[in-house]
Chains A and B, each alone.
Chain A
Amino acid sequence: MPAFDYAPAPESRSIVDIKPSYGLFINGEFVDPVDGNRFKTISPASEEVLSEVASAGPSDVDRAVSAARKAYKSVWGPMPGRDRAKYLYRIARIIQERARELAVLESLDNGKPIRESRDVDVPLVAAHFFYYAGWADKLPHAGFGPDPRPIGVAGQVIPWNFPLLMLAWKIAPALACGNTVVLKPAETTPLTALVFAEICQQADLPPGVVNIVTGAGETGAALVNHPKVDKVAFTGSTEVGRMIAKSVAGTRKRVTLELGGKAANIVFDDAPIDQAVEGIVNGIFFNQGHVCCAGSRLLIQESVADAVLESLKRRMAQLRVGDPLDKNTDIGAINSAEQLDRIRTLSEIGAEEGAERWSAPCILPDRGFWFAPTIFTGVTQAHRIAREEIFGPVLSVLTFRTPAEAVEKANNTPYGLSAGVWTEKGSRTLSIADQLRAGVVWANTFNKFDPASPFGGYKESGYGREGGRHGLEAYLEH
């Protein structure tokens, strides 16, 4: 037993009132699905059933899109930007007021530690709405012409890794620009989106401006393929992104895709080592590695590789894996049994292919879906774990000798979402960042997000940008 044994410090669940079942949020109210299908959402930390949610069929999606179109034509599209801003500011403030409730619910449904949902996700959600509220009446000055117009109805499909944050990334800019939305949250994490629907009611948002349809892949397909949808925005796997791109090809629909990644986190020999180790940990173990921009390939300069790995292992041994609602938990539960299987399979392949596996010593709970923070050393570019997105707390460690080799290896991937550069030498940071084919390059930090900063990929990591002034472009005719 450790000398300083932190006693359990669970955040109270009493602040959330989870209803036994939820309908679809269409035209400002919760309605039952036409064909009555429902599915259960569980807590991945305990496998406890949290609630039943509606599974939207094609006719439900049609209702939602019609409601959105009507709201776009009659209310939201014609509304002056400064009035739209008032609603967005109101939503942002309500999110702040209900921050603790949203954080607890997000941790329950997703499995992420309360420390992250409380300190990262929910504050960023509110910040995103505040940020785009500010743009709503300034669109003529955004650099997209003197009078940019909204596109219409946006069909938005989001993943389970940051349920509420991805909702904010999608809904805030769409609404600021005058579009209305139909959003489909991920099947395993629908609950915070449904509470967001309540927040829309609380904010008196006109009916139909925001519609939430829950369901699995078929619901998403029905939404994306709906003829009355003008704009498709998707965040998720490259595989599904390809299907979406194919299905909308040849239509008038605009598309933005934010897909997978296999980011390189490059540590040079003159890096601030202690902070680099923190950045490596934050890069791959933040949110259990369920981050599309996770720094899942660590490239260390060979001259400091042993020292960095030693520090990294020591640091990983400090990570606290367990109950997501415990305020001291660093690593929560894997979001689903399916995802856990994928992580296990790829990890086994890594070991079979000859990489050396090391996992932090930790006791995993009996129930729920768990995976110990793991690193693979001796990985080469030829290993599958260096090429495929694992989307879990698994880090592949490679080494390099020269800056040119680092850049070559970092870019040698079909993805290009993000990258990290660790060095105390400013000129090197700039020159390496310039050569990396990645949408976001972090210098001496990792996984830092800000609503003012555009985010998006190169190559198979997708196209379009979310966040910042750039994020407006996807939702404006210009």
Chain B
Amino acid sequence: MKLYETVFIVRQDATPNQVETLAQDYTKIIRDNSGDVAKTEFCGLRSLAYPIKKNTKGHYVLMNIKAAPEVVKEVERQMKLNENVLRYLTIKVEVHDPNPSPLMQQKNFNPDRNRGYDDDQDDLLPTAMENA
């Protein structure tokens, strides 16, 4: 049994209920195969950084999974088959983070307002590179 973290994006036309049902379906698959879902986060409708299949927004769902690799593979297969799921990404993690993910906290984050990694060296950023 290994720990995984899955994020998937459901297309914008889906209702929150549909999204929840989808997550429950996947949870059921995992539970039926002696795995467990530690946390499911519905991050709501977020705007995408670029359009995916003509969707400009999407429902983000994060799941912390503990399961065998085969089970995760099956869940990913299901996601691939479902047309409502635009994207999914599963990564293996060492520990699950029980706190709410940053996805939850910063809805529709605007990068222009929080520019600069550090104050004093901003002017060193080569502008020539930007235009390249």
Our verdict on whether A and B bind, yes or no, reads no
Q: Chain A interface (Cβ within 8 Å of chain B)?
A: none
